[in-house]
Structure 1
């Protein structure tokens, strides 16, 4: 059995966990990062994550601090416009379209979109290059024991890690959160989301398009061209049984269904990847910290994929932890630091979880009267310029 000491152990090697490892390692902290599942870094692998992530403006600063941005930038699809379409009439066609332009509040795009498999590829490369980070894919956290002076973690490879801070980035069912005795509040919607990549004849012109009809939004987020054709990442949320049926459709039937649901805004859509599916929930941990333990990402909060909030909230967690650690490295992981982390993040997380919950429930409505009310609400918010700009700034996480 090997005993190792480090500053930080990160349990969870998804996108959030690897970003946190790169950021903390780049800041000079010694880091061990573990995950039971090795990351899939090839697009054509059947297990590849076909979702994409829009990194909003504040997230770029985290990626730069982590030494990741330079490698990611050539693959970025900038998000200049967020378009919301209400298609809640009798037929699946746009009846109200409103565009929120980044130029109204900033010289930069709202953010930059990346395929998740590509993010994993570049993050693995960065961790391999950092002498301060020991990345162990295929290794799980087996047990955790904490005390005021530190944490002792036993891994599946029989190593025992002594860490000053344990960061839980191990997902919505976080074993580390459970070991810390932190409860969660969960809301289930009866929805599932399909994620896949498409090509289309009409260019997206760096516009992210969210189409509301019933069951949940159908969102197309710009990607770089694929095989010379405009390409977008799609997340299609709907009632669970309907999404499950579409998941198993023959490709030609699925392409017909998704083209109709997109209101043919980009012409007929062609499936350019395999499909993945997952259930939609909202979830929030009762606290963000326990003895020598901090929760980030889906261990701390889960939201439906609306408004590009999920991973950007996660990177805000990392930025806050790293700021506190860098200001006072001698107190890394102590009670005062972790109380400050909880206080700094919990109110913002609560507000965003509640706000996205309301947006998602509005997107699910099926009766004509409620669809009309949703369209009227969109129009009212958009029509008042100061309100429109404030909403865009809040969505970015900036003031």
Structure 2
């Protein structure tokens, strides 16, 4: 068995597996190593864990052949409503009919099913699920990992796609700036009386954002939304322990009557909110993608989309370099990838951090100033269009695979 591939991708989540499939479309082979059991990640049921896929990210999925598989499971985002505590003076982002949607919402389970199915059928991907790495090596002529069962896998370039706690990044000694927001995001699926109208709601409270994201109706016709509710770290445990009835009463207080009766809530989960950004995203024969390089607040739903832009840029750079006879681990190619992605990722990270802090300032005066600013944007088409293009991910120097 030949254990040498072009890429050695460590982490087979949404970003890592998309990278492997995107690389394969360009003829680039990979090992994908992940310790998770795919069966656990694709178990039946909707638990509220969902992702907003921007227009540019949808272009990527289309260009690598996943659109037909995913299309029936995505809920279009026709509009985004932004409000400060449900008071007057909010924002309404709605594109013109010819501009399409602002993106699509997918249950993470459906994204994983599509990616895993495609990866299992792709000969250029050697997928090592439920595998623990015991050693990593980056040398002058290649990279390798040793698995717990003794197998050794080899490649030209190592890619860290393991998420926020990336051991590969930490082992490489890459400096990282990070801080905690001292908040947790509580995630759950809601079933409600009135249809959501394909509107994504971002309701800001001093304690944190309260987001309601449109999902497809259930098979029995029940209307569903995904809830992402930010609470103070000290309140998270108590909120998670509330009975369903008490939890729904708290949710109803924050969202008002817009969805009518909230009929049920699915399993609740939570995760800590923090910011991190690495000083660099490459090292000798190493590239970082997704949350391994930059972790941002979910306030604007851009975390996964930022990682998919990393994927598109890295594959563009590698494919062009290999066409010219360079190997994937070539330092020139890694430098080009870093120069391309560094500024965009840092700008988005700072913007989301700034929004989190601005909307977290308590008091009536601060709320009035925020609502005045939003009213100004609402009346300025040029600004509104700029924000919508940012949300759709269609601004800037896009990789080829993220273009329509």
What's the TM-score bracket when you normalise by the shorter of the two chains? over 0.9
Q: 1:297 maps to what in 2?
A: 290
Q: Which of residues 112, 117, 130 in structure 1 aligns to 2:109?
A: 117
Name the CA distance, whole Å, in 2 between partners of 1:141 and 1:366. Answer: 46
Q: Is structure 2 residue 379 aligned with structure 1 residue 356?
A: no
Given that 2:80 and 2:200 are in contact with CA atoms closer than 8 Å, whether structure 1 keeps it comes out as yes
Matches within 5 A, 1:126-165: 126-165=118-157
Q: 2:72 maps to what in 1?
A: 74
Q: Is structure 2 residue 362 aligned with structure 1 residue 369?
A: no
Q: 1:267 maps to what in 2?
A: 260
Q: CA deviation at 1:272?
A: 3.6
Q: 1:90 maps to what in 2?
A: none
Deviation per CA, 1:177-203: give whole Å up to 9, x if none. Answer: 112221110021111000111111111
Q: Is structure 2 residue 32 aligned with structure 1 residue 33?
A: yes
Q: Which of residues 236, 245, 254 in structure 2 aligns to 1:243?
A: 236
SS at structure 2 position matched to 1:102: coil
Given that 1:3 and 1:161 are in contact with CA atoms closer than 8 Å, whether structure 2 keeps it comes out as no
Q: 1:343 maps to what in 2?
A: 339
SS at structure 2 position matched to 1:135: strand
Q: 1:177 maps to what in 2?
A: 169
Name the CA distance, whole Å, in 1 between partners of 2:153 and 2:139. Answer: 14
Return 5+ residue gaps in structure 1 as ranges.
Answer: 88-92
Q: 1:65 maps to what in 2?
A: 63
Q: CA deviation at 1:150?
A: 1.5
Q: Is structure 2 residue 382 aligned with structure 1 residue 389?
A: no
Deviation per CA, 1:248-303: give whole Å up to 9, x if none. Answer: 11010001111111122212323342011000001101101011110001100111
Return 5+ residue gaps in structure 2 as ranges.
Answer: 396-404
Q: 1:318 maps to what in 2?
A: 311
Name the CA distance, whole Å, in 2 between partners of 1:215 and 1:69. Answer: 38
Given that 2:56 and 2:394 are in contact with CA atoms closer than 8 Å, whether structure 1 keeps it comes out as yes
Q: Is structure 2 residue 4 aligned with structure 1 residue 11?
A: no
Q: Which of residues 289, 298, 301 in structure 2 aligns to 1:308?
A: 301
Deviation per CA, 1:17-49: give whole Å up to 9, x if none. Answer: 1111111123221111111112310233xxx86
Q: Is structure 2 residue 62 aligned with structure 1 residue 96?
A: no
Answer with 380-389 or 278-287: which moved more. 380-389
Answer with 225-234 or 366-375: which moved more. 366-375
Deviation per CA, 1:116-162: give whole Å up to 9, x if none. Answer: 12211221111111111111111133222112322122222322111
Q: CA deviation at 1:3?
A: 6.9
Q: 1:43 maps to what in 2?
A: 44
Given that 1:4 and 1:159 are in contact with CA atoms closer than 8 Å, whether structure 2 keeps it comes out as no
CA RMSD of aligned residues (A): 1.7
Deviation per CA, 1:219-261: give whole Å up to 9, x if none. Answer: 1111110231211111001211223211111010001111111
Name the CA distance, whole Å, in 2 between partners of 1:3 and 1:134. Answer: 11
SS at structure 2 position matched to 1:352: helix
Q: CA deviation at 1:376?
A: 1.8
Given that 1:25 and 1:132 are in contact with CA atoms closer than 8 Å, whether structure 2 keeps it comes out as yes
> TM-score, normalization: structure 1?
0.93
- Cα–Cα, structure 1 residues 323 and 131, in superposed 2: closer, same or farther, change >3 Å? same
Q: CA deviation at 1:364?
A: 2.1
